[in-house]
Amino acid sequence: MPVLSYREALRTTLREELLRDDDVFLIGEEIGVFEGSYKITAGLLAEFGAKRVRDTPIAEEGFVGAAIGAAMLGLRPIVEIMTINFSLLALDQIVNHAAKIYGMFGGQSSVPMVIRTPGGGGQQLGATHSQNVELYYAFVPGLKVVAPSTPADARALMLAAVRDDDPVLFLENLALYNTKGEVPDDLRPAEIGKAAVTRPGTDITIIGYSRMAAVATQVADQLAGSGISAEVVDLRSLRPLDRETLVRSVRKTGCAVVAEDDWLTYGIGAEVAASISDGAFDYLDAPVRRVAAAEVPLPYARTLEQAALPSADSLLTAVHQTLAAVGRRR
């Protein structure tokens, strides 16, 4: 089975979708001549030409709007916004147009487009370039929002997103681009809206998405060394949210910790915790704990930035506190 980096999995999948369907094209800032800020689109302009790999001005509202129009007319654009922070400049196009056109026009027109955009801290890019604002989009009916944590999921969810007839926001975390994993050649499109139990366990459920799903797996491996069996649930999709898998896992383990890279207040973890309370309240032996970023604009100084971000250590502490509360401490 081939081992690919997260970056390679995305690039090869984009290439295959361009080859598979002539209606697919790429559009965004510096994706052609410069080959993308993170080199996801390296080599694609040379292979497919400027009609299929379209460089744009630095005008997010403009090129996202152009992609929406192209999608309404039958094409399948894949938009790259250099960082999720810049997507805020296209918020009106994404929230008031891409998400609503199908419903507002009674299904007469769909918007089959993908918006790829990376986010996350840890790269010393400053407060305005290091945010996790996926909650803004997961809040909006009409959008689908996915956040793969592994190269295999990046490929499977990209296949699904490109072929979906609804607009899909495809979240990437900068810290994941160089991570590697096995990616089957015959991997099929994932089911958007389906979480994955990536590690079965019996003592506690750890829930995460994107980078924090990978951190959750590391923590579960560490816990196993001390005899604690942690079940890891990777959300994979933020809208739709797979509440059934979350509830089933917590009903089995009796306690849960949710890890996220965004801020705690009103975050994705709050929705997850509410879902667990709705579906597994009688099974909980302790309140759901949440691990998230410090509620500050992310500092530029590396030591302060690392202190503000959730980590394996902070997640491990929350797990031990939860286990102690239910008398399972070892």
The domain segmentation of the chain, as residue ranges, is: 3-182, 196-325
Cite the DSSP H helix spans in the chain: 6-20, 44-48, 60-72, 91-93, 101-104, 134-138, 151-163, 211-224, 243-253, 268-280, 302-308, 312-325
Per-residue pLDDT at 186? 87
Per-residue pLDDT at 327? 83
Do residues 234 and 208 touch, judged by C-beta distance below 8 A? yes
**Catalytic residue (choose from 129, 134, 231, 320):** 129
Per-residue pLDDT at 329? 57
Could you confirm whether 60 is annotated as catalytic? yes
Domain 3-182 has CATH 3.40.50.970: yes
Mean pLDDT for each consecutive 10-residue tract of the chain (330 residues)? 96 98 97 96 98 97 98 98 97 98 96 97 94 96 98 98 98 97 93 98 98 98 96 98 98 97 95 97 96 96 97 97 82
Per-residue pLDDT at 185? 85
Separation of alpha carbons 296 and 293, rounded Å: 8
Separation of alpha carbons 115 and 87, rounded Å: 9
**Catalytic residue (choose from 60, 172, 260, 271):** 60
Report DSSP letters for 115-149, one per residue: EEEEE-SSSS--GGGS---HHHHHTSTT-EEE---
Per-residue pLDDT at 290? 98
Report pTM.
0.96
Could you confirm whether 129 is annotated as catalytic? yes
| Token representation of residue 215 | 């951190």
Q: Do domains 3-182 and 196-325 have the same CATH topology?
A: yes
Separation of alpha carbons 323 and 330, rounded Å: 9
Which architecture characterizes domain 196-325 according to CATH? 3-Layer(aba) Sandwich (3.40)
β-pairing, 289-293 with 180-182? Answer: unpaired
Of residues 80, 75, 84, the one with CA closest to residue 44: 80
